[in-house]
Structure 1
Amino acid sequence: MRKVQGLSNLVNYLESVNYPLAAEQITDLMSKRKIPHRKAYKDVIIFNLEHIDWWIAEQRKR
């Protein structure tokens, strides 16, 4: 299972797959529960890249 920790790492990953989003946009999506993520600890956020890839595919269908 591929995972990244933190917003900056997710921003970099999204840029690498040609789906750029700013950290502020990701934070907004997280607060609305519209992007897959998991809070491992108080300030530690984990993103499963398989779930992110699925989410990107769903967004591109729209």
Structure 2
Amino acid sequence: MWEGIKLRKIQGLSKLVSYLESVGYPMAADEITDLMTRRKIPHRRAYQDIIIFNLEHIDWWIAEQRKQQLTEQSK
């Protein structure tokens, strides 16, 4: 049933910064930290100092942010 399904996850803030840059949505680490604190970006803390980002969720989040920006620009 789960054959062929590859979970896209990365560990750590620096890897998320690199990923966001690679998909054309660059953000600074401090911006991401602020979003995490306010629970505005999908993430999971595996342990106190280990943060996991599911890239499927991040891709969805980016799409939502872009939609919101387009909506605000059209007003």
Q: TM-score with structure 1 length normalisation?
A: 0.99
Supply the distance in 2 between the matched residues of 1:55 and 1:42 (Cα, whole angstroms): 23
**1:51 maps to 2:57:** yes
Corresponding residue number in structure 2 for 1:36: 42
Pair member with larger Rg: 2
Corresponding residue number in structure 2 for 1:5: 11
Helix, strand or coil: the match of 1:4?
strand
Q: CA deviation at 1:17?
A: 0.1
Identical residues among aligned pairs (%)? 77
Divergent runs of 4+, >3 A: none
Corresponding residue number in structure 2 for 1:26: 32
Supply the distance in 2 between the matched residues of 1:12 and 1:23 (Cα, whole angstroms): 10
Q: Which runs of 5+ in 2 are unaligned?
A: 1-6, 69-75
- Compute the RMSD of aligned alpha carbons: 0.3
Q: CA deviation at 1:45?
A: 0.1
